[in-house]
Chains A and B, each alone.
Chain A
Amino acid sequence: MDTKLKILVVGPIYGGSLPTAHYTVSALKEMEHEVEFLDFSTFRDSYFKIDTVTKDNEHRRSLKDIYIGFLGEIAMAKAASFLPELIIVIAQAPLTPKVIQRIKGGGAFVSFWFVEDFRTLLYWREVAPYYDCFFTIQRGEFFDELKKFGVKNYYYLPQACSPDVHRAVHLTEEDRRIYSSDISFMGAGYFNRRIFFQGLIDLDFKIWGTEWDYLSPLVRCIQKNGERVSPEEYVKIFTASKINLNLHSSSYHEGIDPAGDFVNPRTFELAACGAFQLVDYRTELDSLFKIGEEVICYRDLRDLREKIQYYLVHQDEREKISARAMERALKSHTFKDRMGEMLAVILEKSPLNSPLLKGGRREIKRQGINNVEGMIKNAGRDTELKNFLSQFRGEENLSLKSIIEAIENGKGSLTRTEAIFLMMEQFLTEK
């Protein structure tokens, strides 16, 4: 593409789409566009600091709304100074419909890349109609839904790899000692992974990444105390493992989503590293890789265990398959390929020009709750209850959570009062 554009990329505060934002920026720069990255992850700590300010959920929510509004102002200020022709907003970026409209009022063409599952994260319904172009990693049913919500310009743009980062690396002896295993998994401990991977704990299996459950039998497989793993480190894991597992996340399946459609970034990253992977089947997978030649799929635990046994002893096949996968990924599935496709669509859609405005404010809501002194006063003749409540003196509003924490930290057998509060916790949960 010959046209060189001024592009502002807006990233998320945190989350799985953050790497996508970084790789998007790198790819655009490599394509010699004038790119600036508004990296909201630098505001992450302050965003989470809000949780430490108050325990009141309503207050937290209000403060976060204000903060998001403030980040929206930053986005507008950035756009006003940089004067981009195109703004690419990456999934989970904190832009509200109001901010999107005002940015658009400045004249830039604003597109969004929704690299999430439309069934799980529903915020797309609120924002999608406001973008000039909406890119997705799913199609079919999602396109029908987008149409229903009045979105006109939507395009399928799957995830990709970034060959600068995702590449085969040389391993030292020390690296091999740390990272080698028969099978490995690199990723977060989602519900389905926590359950499904328990079926592999008799194998030489290393699990890397965050959010794993330490009370689960998988604890023996978790590496590095479940700490975050950097991209530099995880390509070493990919290279050092005989078999890399890939299981698309789900919060409501015990293993594989039988109707899963989109393909996750890991599939492309593993392929680009020349690493051998076993991946759960996805309906979009065979439009991106040749199943059986470039990637091998499994359909359930029994099938996976059989394939693990087979490929562990067939190194030559592993190598051939992963070499083919690497060739495919580097040829067709890089972020540069994706950005090329995205810009081609956008240029066809719009004349690109600029400036911007600013604005945006929110309100705080307040609500009263259980007052400790009032409760003690009203406990009446129930001295056991009174005594129990008096330990919370000093707290203005008493929450059931504080009560339960106090009971859990207590010692000895439960009093009747404590038992009733425990019952109440369940009672309110079940309501």
Chain B
Amino acid sequence: MKNILILNLTRMGDLLQTTPLIAGLKKKYPDSKITLLANKTFAGICSDIPFIDEVYTFDIKQFTPESGGEEPSLLKIYRYLDGLVDRVKSKNFDTVINLSHSKLTGIFSSLLNAPDIRGITSTDYGHRVIRHPWLNYFCNIIFNRHYNRFNLADIYQKSGDVEPFSKKLFLNISEGGMIFADEFLKRNGFKEGDMLVGFQPASSRPDRRWSSDSFARLGLELMKRYGAKIIIFGVPSEKGLGDEIQAKMNNHLNPPFLKGEVKGVINAVGKTSVGELASLLKRCHLLITNDTGTMHIAAALGTRIVALFFAHALVHETGPYGEGHIILQAEIPCSPCSHHTNCKNPLCKDYITVEDVITAVEILKSQESVGIGEISRAIRNRGLEKIYHGQFQKVKPFYSSFDSDNMIEFLPLIKRPVDLSDIVGYAYRAMWKKVLVSNGILGRFQPSPLIESGVSLHCKEIAEKIKNHFEIRTDTTANQLDDVLTSFGKLIELGKEGISVTHDIIKKVSKAKFDVEDIKELGNKINCIDENINLISLTEPSTGPIVSMFKFSKENLQGNNILPLAEDTLQLYNNLTTEAKLMKQLLEGIQYIFQVS
């Protein structure tokens, strides 16, 4: 029996995005025991996630002093962490999958002494290492977000060597929950046949919230157009926001002198448990939401979503996992915000207008009988693009769909001018799918003629996808692609130099006696090559993802014995060269197809 621990100390949404991995592991190893270690604040939902056998919680909040209170006792925290390590370690897990980015979980996972640890962990000396190619990708893509075209849920599945199959997130709803939803809605005047639209106006951070004013105006418009009933969701601490939206809607529809209340607005903020929230979401025809945990619950339940993405949120990373949702991503050059920064001027949330959302709702409503891919095609074929373009002025609208590998992708709902990051992003998606293969701690790729010949096929697929969803501007794009291709060419040359020097090192150290000074000199050459590799990624950021993976992998090299270190280094140069070669071939192919057409 396989004994697996999944470590995910992030928020509720991330937990839900872990569910396809959990389901996939259970499918692959039906007899396995799966344990989840989650943050206590967000652990409420774990009892409704199927296939989990046991849950441990990590209680970060218990040591937060009340305002003005004493600082926490270091000894008390120490005892808590020490005890938790002991309890989890005693379960003797054979696989630990760490899906958190933090150094904390890295140290924690290393203290468990499991034979197979994936994700961030720590060496005996406290150095961070990342194990498993997809989790290496997961950690490095933070620095190259513009070129990431993988959703978190798919990356998580790949980290467990699970082939995506579900096309959905998993969450159970109890019968009690459904009874609660029926009674709750009935009590609030909801009738069968009413269109019920959920609003999730809050989010973990204030700069990731669409304004209360916009939500109120949207609510009124939905009531006017469709006779919709609006239900506002949120946790108790967000009550003020729910009240504010409701009051704004009231004031608008019923001037104060009438002293009335808008009929059809249900303010459920702070009135539901997570399970009850889920059962109400299941009853909604549609959810309008910021990038939140509520959005992922709705996605798990198959409720249609119009998601509003701005600030740090990026559609490709955390867009709702399921077919046929619409996501509006604010179009501002600084998007997405860097992690760990607080924008002092979050203009982007005002870039999404009430009219944009109404258009998205219209599209979703007309989609009930047809697939959204069809809608997107119909918009293009019927020449409706101009109309929609007029409406989506500062917004990129996307719809969610699954590719032939059952991995989600977010495609433009209407054609817009292609930019370099789109072309490079799609090429990267194809390339990483081929090379991020788990075959050992370092191994990502074994060059084979089979894969190289597969490239031309991908070029056609990518070029076709780009032609279908974007306007091609051959002049600027071609010039920019030339620069990118030159940089990938330089990377290939440097990779080959790296291969040649590490070969020399291996040859020399394989002999019984070798001159240390010789090796030092070769080591200097390697440093020089690495510096130049880094320089390329800085001056041509589109090469960043490959270089970043290379650097992270190099940091993962452990030990003091020169020969195995040199052999591992050789493999990393091989990977770098092949990845750059594949990208160059893909991009040349795409460029050629564009030029010919």
Chain A interface (Cβ within 8 Å of chain B)?
Answer: 117, 119-120, 191, 198-202, 217, 251-259, 299-302, 305, 367-370, 375, 378-379, 382, 385, 398, 400, 403, 407, 412-414, 416, 418-424, 426-428, 430-431
Contacts and interface: CB of A to CB of B under 8 A. Distances in A.
A407 B122 CA distance: 15
A252 B111 contact: no
A265 B76 CA distance: 52
Interface residues of B, number: 45
A419 B126 contact: yes
Given A420-B78, A422-B107, A426-B103, 20 more contacts: A117-B344, A202-B538, A202-B539, A217-B535, A217-B538, A252-B337, A252-B338, A259-B345, A300-B333, A369-B70, A382-B82, A403-B74, A412-B125, A420-B81, A420-B107, A422-B126, A428-B63, A428-B77, A430-B104, A431-B61
Nearest to B110: A419
Interface string B49-80: 00000000000110110000011111101100
A422 B124 CA distance: 13
B59 to A, nearest CB: 10
A431 B77 CA distance: 12
Contact of B74 (A199, A398, A423): A398
A252 B541 contact: no
A398 to B, nearest CB: 7
B342 interface: yes
A428 B77 CA distance: 9
Contacts of B541: 199, 301
A159 to B, nearest CB: 19
B125 A370 contact: no
A188 B78 CA distance: 40
A120 B85 CA distance: 41
Contacts of B73: 370
Contacts of B342: 252
B535 A201 contact: yes
Contacts of B483: 302
Interface in B307-344: 332-334, 337-338, 341-344
A199 B60 contact: no
Interface string B449-483: 00000000000000000000000000000001001
Interface string B102-116: 111001101100000
B334 A119 contact: no
Centre residue among B63, B75, B332, B341 by max chain A CB count within 10 A = B75
A369 to B, nearest CB: 5
A428 B60 CA distance: 8
B247 interface: no
Given A120-B344, A201-B539, A217-B535, A423 B75 contact: no
A367 B343 contact: no
A369 B70 CA distance: 7
List the 6 closest pairs (A to B, CB-CB), nearest first.
Answer: A426-B104, A119-B344, A252-B341, A413-B124, A198-B538, A258-B333
Contacts of A198: 538
A421 B78 contact: yes
Nearest to A418: B126
A431 B334 contact: no
A422 B75 CA distance: 14
B74 A375 contact: yes
B562 interface: no
B378 interface: no
B534 interface: yes
Contacts of B441: none
Contacts of A407: 126
B334 A257 contact: yes
Centre residue among B70, B334, B347, B535 by max chain A CB count within 10 A = B334
B70 A368 contact: yes
29 contacts: A199-B539, A202-B535, A251-B341, A252-B337, A252-B341, A252-B343, A255-B334, A258-B332, A258-B334, A259-B332, A259-B345, A300-B333, A305-B539, A368-B70, A370-B73, A375-B75, A385-B78, A414-B124, A419-B111, A419-B122, A420-B85, A422-B107, A422-B126, A423-B104, A423-B108, A426-B103, A427-B63, A431-B60, A431-B64
B124 A370 contact: no
Contacts of A117: 344
A352 B215 CA distance: 51
Contacts of B111: 416, 419-420
Given A201-B538, A427-B60, A413 B103 contact: no
A430 B60 contact: yes
Contact of B538 (A199, A253, A369, A370): A199
A217 B534 contact: yes
Contacts of A422: 103, 107, 126
A21 to B, nearest CB: 24
B75 A378 contact: yes
B201 to A, nearest CB: 23
A55 B343 CA distance: 30
Nearest to B343: A252
Given A199-B538, A431-B61, A424 B333 contact: no
Interface in B484-536: 531, 534-535
A119 B345 contact: yes
Contact of B125 (A200, A378, A414, A430): A414
A185 B108 CA distance: 43
A361 to B, nearest CB: 22
A419 B107 contact: yes
B368 to A, nearest CB: 38
A149 B186 CA distance: 45
B74 A400 contact: yes
Nearest to A119: B344
A236 B102 CA distance: 46
A384 B245 CA distance: 56
A253 B334 contact: yes
B312 to A, nearest CB: 11
Contact of A370 (B74, B82, B108, B531): B74
Contact of B333 (A299, A419, A420): A299
Contacts of A370: 71, 73-75
Interface in B105-151: 107-108, 110-111, 122, 124-126
A373 to B, nearest CB: 12
Contacts of B341: 191, 251-253
A198 to B, nearest CB: 4
A228 to B, nearest CB: 27
Given A427-B60, A431-B63, A256 B125 contact: no
Contacts of A301: 541
Contacts of A403: 74
Contacts of B344: 117, 119-120, 252
A258 B394 CA distance: 13
A201 B107 CA distance: 35
Contacts of B82: 382, 420
Nearest to A117: B344
A399 to B, nearest CB: 8
B295 to A, nearest CB: 23
A217 B544 CA distance: 14
A413 B125 contact: yes
Contacts of A418: 126
B81 A427 contact: yes
B334 A254 contact: yes
